[in-house]
Amino acid sequence: MSHTRQALVVAGWEFRRYFRWKDQLMGLGLFLLIGFVWVGAAMVAGARGKVITVALDGVELTAPPEGRIRFVPAPADAAERAEALRQGDVRGILTRRPDGTFDLLVEKDPRYRAELVALLGESVRRERLAATGMTAEGLEQILSPAPLEVRFTNPATGRRGTPEKIAAGVFIGILLLAVFTSMAYLMTGITGEKQLRVTESVVSAISPQAWIDGKVFGITGFALASVGGSIVGGLLVALGARIATGFTLPAAAVRPGVVLALSVFTVLGLLLWNSFFAAVASTMDDPNTSSRSSLLMLPALPVVMSLAVLRDPDSLVSRILALCPLTSAPALPMRLVLSDPGLPEIGASVALLLGAIWLMRRMAGRIFEVGMLLYGKEPTLREIGRWAADRLPSTPR
C-alpha cells in the first residue's frame, strides 16, 4: 500500500473519530443564538428608550427631537412639584440658582444625567458666546481643523480603515481557533493512543511517517470543518445584522482573491503547526503532568508577533513577518487585507511556507517514530533534537 493511501486511510479515520454532525449543528446553533442575541441587544440599545420628562424652573433649554428628554415648565408650588415627582409625572425639576449654577431635584438617581449635562453645557456655551459678542459660526471656524481630502488612485483597494482592521482581527481569531482546536485534539489523541497501547499495532502496519502525515491531515481537516461551522454561523449573523442594522462586511475582506489567500494560508499554517504539535505530543506520556505541555503554546507567539502588521502593514517588520514561514500564515493575509503585497511576495511566502512544512513534517516524522514507542520516561530536548536530525532511513514497509 502506498504512503499516500496509508496517510489517507489514517486521515479519514482521524477526521471521523472526532467529527460529529450533531456536535457541529449544536455549535452552529449556539453560535447563532449568541450572535442574534448580540444583534438584538445592539438593536435594543440603539432604539429610543422611554421618554424622560424634566420640569424647568428659570432655565431655557430645548430638547433635541432624537433625544430621550422632554422639557416642561415646572409647577409653581413646592407641594405640587413634590407631588409631580412622587407621581412620576416628571423625573426631575431643574432650577437655576442666582449664582448661575443648576439644581436638579429628583426622587431617584438620574440615569439621564450625562444627556442633561450635555444639553446644559451647550446652553451655557451659547450664553457665554453671546456675552463675548462672537457668533457660534465664528467659533466653529476658529476651532475647525485644516481641511485635507485624501484621494486614492484605486479607491477599491486603497481605502483601508477600521473595518479592514476588524476583518484582519477576525481572521487572526479564526486562525487561532483552528490552531488551538487542532492542538487540543492532536495532544489528547496521540497521548491517548500511547496510553491505550495502540501504537505497536499501527506502526507494524504502516510507517510512522504515514501515520503522522495522516493524523496531521485528518485533524487539520477536522479543525477546518469546526472553524468552517463558526464561519458559516458568523456569516449568518452578519446577514442578520445587515438586515437589522445595515451592517456590511468590509470590501477588502470579501474580495475573492483575499478569501482564497486567507484559505490557503490558513490550511498551510495549520499543516505546519500541526506537524509540530504531533511531534511534541508523541514525546509526552500524560498531558496533565508533562512539562512539555507549555511547548504547545509556542504557535501563539508568531500569531501575537504578527499583530504588528495591524499597526503598520507596510513596515519592514511586517514584510519580513509576511515572508518568514513561522509567521507568514497570519501575517501575509493581514497584509492582504490591510495593504497590497504584490504577487512576487505572495508567491515567495507560499514557497517558503511549503518548504518549511516539508522540513517540519520530516523532522516531526523522525521524532514521532521514536517518541510513540517510548513509555514512562519523557525524552530530553537534546534527545528530541538528535532524533529530528537523524538521517537514518525509515524502517522499510
Partner 1 sequence: MTSLHEPSVVRLHAVCKSFAGRAVVDHLSFAVRRGEVFALLGPNGAGKTTTVRMLVGIIRPDEGRLEATLDGSDTSVPPPHSTGYLPEDRGLYREIPVLRTLVYFGMLRGLERREAKKRAHEWLERMSLLDRKDERLDALSKGNQQRVQLIAAVIHRPTLAILDEPFSGLDPLSQEFFLDLVRELKEAGTTILLSAHQMDLVERAADRVLLMNRGREILSGSVGELHARLDDRPRLRLMMETGSDPGILRTDPDVEELAVSGDEVGITLRAGVAVRPFLARAVAVASIRGVATEAPRLHEVFVRAVREDDARAEGRVA
The residues binding partner 1 (CB under 8 A) are 1, 6, 9-10, 13, 16-17, 193, 196-198, 200-206, 373, 375, 392, 395-397
Q: What angle in degrees, to the nearest 10, is found between the helix axes of 136-143 and 113-132?
A: 100
- Can you spell out the DSSP letters for 286-321? -TTT-GGGGGGGTTHHHHHHTTHHHH-TTSHHHHHH
C-alpha cell at 364: 516531526
* CB nearer partner 1, residue 18 or residue 265: 18
The rounded Cα 384 to chain-centroid distance in angstroms is 34
Min separation Cβ 24 and partner 1, Å = 18
Nearer to partner 1, 202 or 244 (CB): 202
Q: Which is nearer to partner 1, 152 or 375 (CB)?
A: 375
CB of 367 to partner 1, least distance (A): 16
Least distance in angstroms from the C-beta of 214 to partner 1 = 10
8 A C-beta contact, residue 393 and residue 304: no
Specify the residue, 211 or 265, whose C-beta has the smaller distance to partner 1.
Answer: 211
Nearer residue to partner 1 within complex by CB, 358 or 375: 375
The cell numbers describing 135, all together, are 457668533
Q: How far is the CB of 14 from partner 1 (least distance, A)?
A: 10
81 within 8 A of 44, measured Cβ to Cβ: no
Report which of 154, 257, 186, 177 is spatially closest to residue 224, judged by C-alpha positions.
177
Count other C-beta atoms under 10 Å from residue 149's C-beta. 4
- Cell 538528535: give the residue: 386
Instruction: For the CB of residue 13, give the shortest distance to partner 1 in the complex, in Å.
Output: 5
Cβ at position 371, least distance to partner 1 in Å: 13
Q: Burial of 131 by CB count in 10 Å (0-12 exposed, 13-18 middle, 19+ buried)?
A: exposed
Of 214 and 313, CB closest to partner 1: 214
